[in-house]
Amino acid sequence: MAERLRLMAVHAHPDDESSKGAATTAKYVAEGVDVLVVTCTGGERGSVLNPKMDRPDVWANIAEIRRAEMDAARAILGVEQAWLGFVDSGLPEGDPLPPLPEGCFALQDVAEAAGPLVRLMREFRPHVVTTYDEEGGYPHPDHIMTHKISVAAFEAAGDPERYPELGAPWQPLKLYYDIGFSKGKILALHEGMLAAGLESPYGEWIKRWEDREDKGPRITTRVECADYFPVRDDALRAHATQIDPDGFWFHVPMELQRQAWPTEDFQLVRSLVDSPLPESDLFAGVRETAHVR
């Protein structure tokens, strides 16, 4: 019997797995793929973004609460999940920016911090790995560090001379960056809302595109996963400290989302298999090469 396909999604904090690529992971789980979410930090320094949860008892137990939220989201998505155990760096604010806290994830040596991820890659043996681009998707120190260790681990996991104490070598076959938002996607949702006679929450976003890179041209792979948008939203709501159920993320009606932009989008940045672009499947080329199902 052929072995099962395996996907590893590397994220910085609990909640990132539900806001970035969640419908894709839920789709693959439903299709019989083994999916492991790797969470680099515990989110200990995250803000409480849901006004209903902004209470002293929540702040006093934020680390434990965020772990419980991750448990709930994991069950909704149907994924496996592992913690790397690093400490959240927080998002520095101010001008000039304050120094990052001593011992936090973003200040670790990349080669050392990649070690625990190399071990996981060798244990789980993913065929495909997803993570963030060099800007972290957005410039949070932990997201940028997640990118760095993901790339380092992808390159090292298959090399028997590197980290020999961390298990038998395993080389993942494809590495992707998640492209959560592009100008085309925002415009499609914005115009869909206006056409439906609804107020769009994206007006300010569109204005900001004048001053930032549009990552749309980077997209190589569009995964049709609109049927799993409700699962994604349920997983998001499980992170109650981070997601306001009455907030921005839920302003666009589900049917409009499905019609306007039914995919989640990725950039293929490393491949050891032949897979012509553009793609519609993260496992394109893997299914044939690795003889997996």
| SS3 of the chain: helix, strand, coil, percent, to 5 | 45, 15, 40
Long-range contacts of 230-234 (CB under 8 A, 24+ apart): 230/254, 231/22, 231/23, 231/26, 231/76, 231/77, 232/18, 232/22, 232/23, 232/26, 234/76
Rg (CA), the chain: 19
Q: Hey, how many other C-beta atoms are within 10 angstroms of the C-beta on 207?
A: 9
User: What angle do the packed helices 62-77 and 229-238 form, to 10 degrees?
Assistant: 160
Q: Is residue 11 part of an annotated ligand binding site? A: no
Q: Residue 206 is inside which H or E element, if any?
A: helix 203-208
Sign of CA dihedral 180, 23, 32, 168: positive
Q: Is residue 143 part of an annotated ligand binding site? A: yes
Q: Is residue 13 part of an annotated ligand binding site? A: yes
Q: For residue 30, which phi and psi values (nearest 5 degrees)?
A: -60, -25
Q: Hey, how many other C-beta atoms are within 10 angstroms of the C-beta on 231?
A: 21
CA nearest neighbour of 252 among 168, 204, 195, 207:
195
Binding residues: 13, 16, 143
Binding residues for Zn(2+): 13, 16, 143
